[in-house]
Structure 1
Amino acid sequence: MVSLLGKTVFITGGTKGIGRAIALKCAANGAQVAVVARNVEGSPVVSEIQAAGGQGIALSCDIQNEEQVKAAIIQTAGAFGGIDILVNNAATLVLKTTEDISMTEYDTMAGINTRGTFLVVKHALPYLKQSANAHILTLCPKPQLDERWFVSNLAYTMSKFSMGMLAFGLSAEQRMYGIASNALWPFTTIDTDGLAECNNAQFQARPRKPAILADAAFWILSQDSTAFTGNFCIDEIVLREAGVCDFEQYNSVPGTPLLELSQDHMIAPEQLNRLIDLRRQASN
């Protein structure tokens, strides 16, 4: 594993939820962390980063706005001497059918999830190319041509699968520069503001804490960027393969059995089968 000590991490949507958890995990391991969000005013995340043991800055940035993105990246590189890691966490969630979604909602979701992610990557690449162990990590599922992912939330699925195509394509495009690109997605729903707003009782019932994604992200970002790239990772699979045994620590509802956790709705069949095998091995 490669140390994050002195590395600079740029995280979109980093003031709360999953982004914040990843920021604090990286900071606790010696990283310099820049978090960006549309509005960082009043956020305690910088003081939390410092308390965790790292250095941090928080920048207001709408990732749909190219000039704001360029300014945030330049400011980060100027403050910390470069950028080693990019975490594409920012996203917006609108779970509606084609008839029900407004074009304003569609444009916002496509503008943040798809275009915004691409835009941040585009302007971060010149700095990542200068890093000795550069990583891009995108929070998105593995694209799948399966009707069940499209039937209820077509626009959202399109935007998240586009992020997955970007993550995979970047691995091929940037491999020659030693830049890793991987995707990470949770096996269960995660207890965040977005989950609270989705109005789905099944998803909200027994989620896990953002810490499980932060721990999985840290493992990925600590790998050799020339050897670990092009992967669609699932948080629990990453951690089980890394030797983690205690998953109760991640439950938002203490004592929840594994089979009663609220499962995310975008898990590929081969990912599910791999997790079943790992759980079976752990129980033997």
Structure 2
Amino acid sequence: MSEQDPITLTENTGALKGKTLFITGASRGIGRAIALKCAADGANIVIAAKSAEPHPKLPGTIHSVAEEVEQAGGRALALQVDVREEEQVSAAMASAAEQFGGIDAVVNNAGAINLTNVESTPPKRYDLMQDINSRAVYLTAHLAIPYLKKSACGHILSLSPPVNLQPKWLGPFAPYALSKFGMTILSMGLAEELHEAGVSVSTLWPRTLVATAAIEFAVGNREMFEQSRKPVIMADAAYEILQTENNALSGCQLIDEELLGERGVTDFTRYAHNPDRAGELAVDLFLDS
């Protein structure tokens, strides 16, 4: 797989024109899709990811996505960032603010996944998931809040699931569940903390599997794409969240399909990786139906 799938953009409103979005893990998959969706509005996109050099199996780098952002109508800043490293994240945000005059939104998309139980999870893998998932939400928020408070429409959006403590989700892979639920719990707390400052904080999770490298290499295999939707559904949902004003969605744990349905989308077939199998989609982790 040498090239990333093309992104088919849906109608935009122009609400994000001139806004600056700091997106982690934006060199591939859902992060890239969100970047291109918002770039079509004329947004400034900070592509904050580790992928500065091409990978033999995983297409896309911060530089290739920066080119796509510019082609889509946005302005791009490609920064190699490890979300585990405070100095790197802090320097990246300072560079973004200097380049574009501030930061209006942070999208916590970077993630690590390992579907193993406690006994089978090595300590290094456990630490990696906690650091890249839940700790990164804390770190990016901690460092971005001074910038977001100056924005007229500050947002923090994290890609994490509604908290679901049913044993069937905890027993098989508690370490991963803890890291993802930690993202959501931190977001709930941040929503309350930043309410008076006018900064909206919410989470977003897909109703179905999404065709990304995580599904192909960490969860199953490429055949699972047949039961998946394309990343653009998450991009469309994220766009709806980021253009919502007056903290209307702050504190919410949102599902892509439900939110888009509320915003008027009725045909979800186009989001299917294989439209001919749109009725065979697999429900994502942590969702009971």
Question: Is the 8 Å Cα contact of residues 63 and 117 (structure 1) preserved in structure 2?
Answer: no
Give distance in 1, aligned partners of 2:239 and 2:278. 25
2:137 corresponds in structure 1 to 117
1:235 lines up with 2:256 in the alignment: yes
Give distance in 1, aligned partners of 2:261 and 2:37. 18
1:223 lines up with 2:244 in the alignment: yes
TM-score, structure 1 as length reference: 0.91
1:176 corresponds in structure 2 to 196
1:276 corresponds in structure 2 to none
User: Structure 1: which amino acid aligns with 2:139?
Assistant: L
* 1:266 positional shift: 1.1
C-alpha offsets along residues 133-155 of structure 1, whole Å, 9 cap, x if unaligned?
11110000011221111111110
Report the count of equivalent residues. 268
For structure 2, list consecutive stretches of 5 or more residues without a partner in the other structure.
1-12, 55-60
Question: Is the 8 Å Cα contact of residues 83 and 131 (structure 1) preserved in structure 2?
Answer: yes
User: Structure 2: which amino acid aligns with 1:212?
Assistant: I
1:186 lines up with 2:198 in the alignment: no
* 1:203 positional shift: 5.1
* 1:163 positional shift: 0.3
1:132 corresponds in structure 2 to 152
User: Structure 1: which amino acid aligns with 2:89?
Assistant: V
* 1:2 positional shift: 8.0
Structure 1 counterpart of 2:28, from 16, 19, 22: 16
Give distance in 1, aligned partners of 2:73 and 2:65. 12
Q: How does 1:26-41 map to 2 (within 5 A)?
A: 26-41=38-53
Question: Is the 8 Å Cα contact of residues 226 and 277 (structure 2) preserved in structure 1?
Answer: no
* 1:86 positional shift: 0.6
For structure 1, list consecutive stretches of 5 or more residues without a partner in the other structure.
273-284
* 1:38 positional shift: 1.5
Structure 2 counterpart of 1:5, from 14, 17, 25: 17
SS in 1 for 2:277: coil
* 1:227 positional shift: 2.5
* 1:40 positional shift: 2.4
Distance 1:78 1:91, change over 3 A: same
User: Structure 1: which amino acid aligns with 2:135?
Assistant: R
* 1:117 positional shift: 2.0
TM-score, structure 2 as length reference: 0.89
User: Structure 2: which amino acid aligns with 1:94?
Assistant: N
Q: How does 1:55-70 map to 2 (within 5 A)?
A: 55-70=75-90
